[in-house]
Structure 1
Amino acid sequence: MESNGIIDIQFWRLCAAYVFVVILLVIVKRRGISREREIIIATFRMTIQLFIAGYVLTYIFNDPHPVITVTMLGAMSIFSIMNIFKQMKFSLKRQIKWCIACSMMTGPIITLLFFNGIVIDFTPWYEPRYVIPIAGMIIGSAMTGLTLALKNLYEGMTSNRDKIEAMLMLGAAPKKAVKKYVDQAFDSAVLPTINNMLGMGIVFLPGMMTGQILAGISPTVAIEYQIAVILGGLGGVSLTVIIFILLSYKVFFTKNAQLDL
């Protein structure tokens, strides 16, 4: 069925797509991989959350208001922060949680303001049709990057504790003693985005571009938006992670420059 030139997926056809989940469940079951529960929960949550998001966005798009847009941005940021907390397998100090929150509230917002005001330049500034999807991609990229950075920073400092303490005993400043592991954490955060950039257009077409083309938008216009969004995501990850690193590495040391993990 087509609506304004766009194919509208019928309900039963959409349900047919869940056969891929069934295939995955069969594979993990046959291979003895204990992932059935996680797959079912993830599929259920994804479906419910996206349907709710669809109805909410429809309401917001039909009646745009700056308060609603700002509230949505705040909710997205808070959810991303809580998601980072949950993904950590180790306990987080209160100071580290503050660094995560500050980074996630600063890096993506700076990127979003620049992106919306300079790159796209639309009015009004709170137009949810632009602000919310773009913010979602930038915040999502920043959340993934910060999660990787924190995990790698903690693992690097934990597994190399003796080396760091040896450098401290030889008179090295905390910043210099952990520089190698901080740089590795930053690299791990931006590497997935860089790898995606290397394969785009040849190995695969990104989701946003594919969606726009399926919606009937010219491929050249879709490319422009995709390039802008990818660069915006890269900027969001970079700013968020560097702010986090600059704020957090000192938390791993006492006032006497002793390593405290």
Structure 2
Amino acid sequence: MNEGLIDIELTRLIAAYIFVLVLILIVKVRKISREKQIAIATMRMTIQLILAGYILTYIFDNPHPLLTIMIIMIMEIFAIRNVFKQVREKLSKQMKSIITVSMLSGSLASLLYFNLIVIHFSPWYDPRYFIPIAGMIIGNSMTGITLGVKTLIQGFSASRARIEGALMLGAEPREAAKPYVDNAFDSAVLPTINNMLGMGIVFLPGMMTGQILSGISPLLAIEYQIAILLGILGSVSLTVIIFLLLGYRTFFTKDSRLNDLG
């Protein structure tokens, strides 16, 4: 027992894996070939979280600005790599560079503003605040930009003839690309907006639930959750719009013709 929080013993934690077995049974009965992926995902999740727990325990007990910065950079690198993997379409070096710049500039700018202005904890590198908040902001920015990249590429691929027609009629690349850029932005931010619409009524978010279970006042937990959600919304919006404003240009040549790929 820790400050009112019930400690989940190892045997009871193992019992939670019954839900994984139920899922494997369902896909096996339905003949959906996902058993291996489910097993691998479960093992990776378990190992990664255990390692993260030990690493965070060490960092929390030995706070240092360089350690905090190193962890944030590792998170950014893995997030950017995940975007490349999840998009699956072939990405040019220029597009990869734009994704990298957008992720770093959008998420880090939002993270620093949120930590230094909104929460304003001291010292500024306190890992107990910095790292969990960074995880939420960077993770959601990663999801947003992934959706944005996929939707933009699919839009240009499916509407190539229409875009070329607009260019032939005298439209500038910015004008010809606008519907597809707007659609990509809408697709990228919609999951965050939907979460905000259902939060507090349909479900309680994980951070707020964890704080309440640990004994913190629900009102204080709500304050933090509202602030975090607004920070996530700002980070996703900024990251995605930077990518889109730079990324759509890779679909066009210098003389305003349409490329085969971005």
Q: What's the TM-score once normalised by structure 1's chain length?
A: 0.98
1:80-138 C-alpha deviation (Å, 9 max, x unpaired): 00011111221100000000000111001110111011111111100000000000000
Aligned residue runs from structure 1 range 22-33, under 5 A: 22-33=21-32
1:197 Cα offset (Å): 0.4
Residues 1:198 and 2:197 are matched in the alignment? yes
1:51-70 C-alpha deviation (Å, 9 max, x unpaired): 00000000000000000001
1:5 Cα offset (Å): 2.0
In the alignment, the residues of structure 2 paired with residue 136 and residue 7 of structure 1 have an alpha-carbon distance, to the nearest angstrom, of 25
Residue identity matched to 1:87:
Q
Residue identity matched to 1:247:
L
**1:255 aligned counterpart, secondary structure:** coil
Report the equivalent of 1:219.
218
Aligned residue runs from structure 1 range 18-97, under 5 A: 18-97=17-96
**1:178 aligned counterpart, secondary structure:** helix
Is the 2:4–2:213 Cα contact (8 Å) retained in structure 1? no
In the alignment, the residues of structure 1 paired with residue 2 and residue 176 of structure 2 have an alpha-carbon distance, to the nearest angstrom, of 61
Is the 2:3–2:214 Cα contact (8 Å) retained in structure 1? no
In the alignment, the residues of structure 1 paired with residue 69 and residue 245 of structure 2 have an alpha-carbon distance, to the nearest angstrom, of 27
Residue identity matched to 1:155:
Q
- Cα RMSD of the aligned pairs, angstroms, is 0.7
Residue identity matched to 1:132:
I
Report the equivalent of 1:185.
184
Q: Percent of aligned positions with the same letter in both sequences?
A: 63
1:36 Cα offset (Å): 1.2
In the alignment, the residues of structure 2 paired with residue 179 and residue 3 of structure 1 have an alpha-carbon distance, to the nearest angstrom, of 54
1:256 Cα offset (Å): 1.6
Aligned residues: 260
Report the equivalent of 2:101.
102
1:191 Cα offset (Å): 0.2
1:4 Cα offset (Å): 3.1
In the alignment, the residues of structure 1 paired with residue 88 and residue 123 of structure 2 have an alpha-carbon distance, to the nearest angstrom, of 42
In the alignment, the residues of structure 2 paired with residue 38 and residue 148 of structure 1 have an alpha-carbon distance, to the nearest angstrom, of 22
Report the equivalent of 1:138.
137
Report the equivalent of 1:164.
163
Query: Which structure 1 residue ranges, 4+ long, deviate > 6 Å from structure 2?
Result: none
1:3 Cα offset (Å): 2.8
1:160-191 C-alpha deviation (Å, 9 max, x unpaired): 11100100111101111010010000000100
1:28 Cα offset (Å): 0.9
Residues 1:11 and 2:10 are matched in the alignment? yes
**1:3 aligned counterpart, secondary structure:** coil
1:71 Cα offset (Å): 0.6
